[in-house]
Structure 1
């Protein structure tokens, strides 16, 4: 016996949740944890910043704000390792 199931996606509702304060807090906490792990890896003389922003959802960027940042990521993968270290699913686009 087969059943037909219809699923209707509420895109407006999903967007509302993705831009909510609860999601913003979770995203920012994750970014702060990643930034802390990066700081521990690169040392106190290398600035690491967290930038919070909103697109169609809440987001945050962790940046090694130093000319050595590209090399640290390319050679050691400090950002990737830090994100993976908190359980983030890191993928190459």
Structure 2
């Protein structure tokens, strides 16, 4: 059996509106869980962007964010809480 990978087709799917919507919904759920964990006085933002695929970043937009992630893993826990597969590289 021979398999041929259609890289152009995969890229087209990865940049599609359907994938964008799924990525943004996941990011919004992670942001909501993070906001619950850190409280209302610490801003949490979602930034949507496109590279070779649709993507989004959830950020604790406060100087305390690094400590909250390092000490409590709030972003990691929020992502895991929605079923995301979180891995350290």
TM range (shorter): over 0.9
Gap regions ≥5 residues in structure 1:
none
**Residues of 1 paired with 2:42 and 2:3: CA distance?**
49
Which residue matches 2:46? 50
Gap regions ≥5 residues in structure 2:
none
Number of aligned pairs?
89
Q: Deviations over 1:46-73 (max 9, x none)?
A: 0000000000000000000000000000
Could you tell me the TM-score, scaled by structure 2's length?
1.00
The structure with the largest alpha-carbon Rg is 1
Could you tell me the TM-score, scaled by structure 1's length?
0.95
CA RMSD in angstroms comes to 0.2
